[in-house]
Amino acid sequence: MGAPLSASLRMPRPGIRRAELAPEHTSRVDGATDDFHPSGDSRSFHQQYSDFIRQGMARNGVVLMTCSSCHDPHGSEERAMLRFDPDLNEGCTSCHSDDRFLDPYLHLEEAVGEPHDALRPSELICTSCHMVRTATAGARVPELLDRSGGTEPVQYFHGDRHSHRFNVPRRDVASVQPSAATLECALCHGRFLPNP
């Protein structure tokens, strides 16, 4: 599972162009329906590439984005062989360098329409919202225990692997997204969560 196979179950040849690889080898013929959340995010490990090529950043028309744009294939001191410290925003702002992205408070207010001034800078990491943990390699991570609304509490989980679609969890599609909220966000957003 996780290999980019063609419809005839063949691996791509070495040196294949990305324009040929994407349509011919990434239809996820090896991915069953239950490998994906209703939102389209992967449930299973080793689907980060499939997620990555289905989002707009890989096909942005300006810069060729590949796995090695963020990960060092030869290794690094950072976790997941990242080129940048994942607890800082420099990996994202090296490309997203407009003023509206450099100031996370401004970006968040522009995106959601409300200031989030009560948050600490350490809570405003790009990947916290744009790379929610959806896939599971072996363990799900318990997040919010929602005691509101129902007779039984609802335990929400995150996976232990980050989505590479860079989509942000949104309230209007909370019922089909892979995670409802992190513990940190749920302090304010608990009233918006779906209760099955």
- Which has more pLDDT, 69 or 175? 69
- Which has more pLDDT, 67 or 27? 67
Mean pLDDT of 128-153: 72
For residue 36, CA distances in Å to 29, 43, 56, 67, 180 come to: 13, 5, 19, 21, 16
Cβ proximity of 36 and 43 under 8 Å: yes
- On the question of pLDDT at 27 being above 70, the answer is no
Q: Six-digit token pair at 45?
A: 């490990």
- On the question of pLDDT at 86 being above 50, the answer is yes
**Rounded to the nearest 5 degrees, what angle is found at the Cα of 167, between the Cα atoms of 182 and 194?**
45
Q: Six-digit token pair at 11?
A: 């691996």
- Which has more pLDDT, 109 or 136? 109
- Which has more pLDDT, 182 or 93? 93
Q: What are phi and psi of 48, to 5 degrees?
A: -65, -35
Select from 44, 37, 42, 38 the least CA-distant residue to 53. 42
Which position has the token pair 């997941």? Answer: 80
- On the question of pLDDT at 21 being above 90, the answer is no
89 vs 4: CA distance, rounded Å: 30
43 vs 136: CA distance, rounded Å: 6
Q: What pLDDT is attached to residue 29?
A: 39
Report field, pTM of the whole predicted structure over 0.75: no
133 DSSP 8-state letter: E
Query: 87-135, pLDDT tens digit by residue?
Result: 899 999 988 998 889 999 999 899 888 888 988 888 889 988 888 777 7
Q: Six-digit token pair at 94?
A: 């090296």
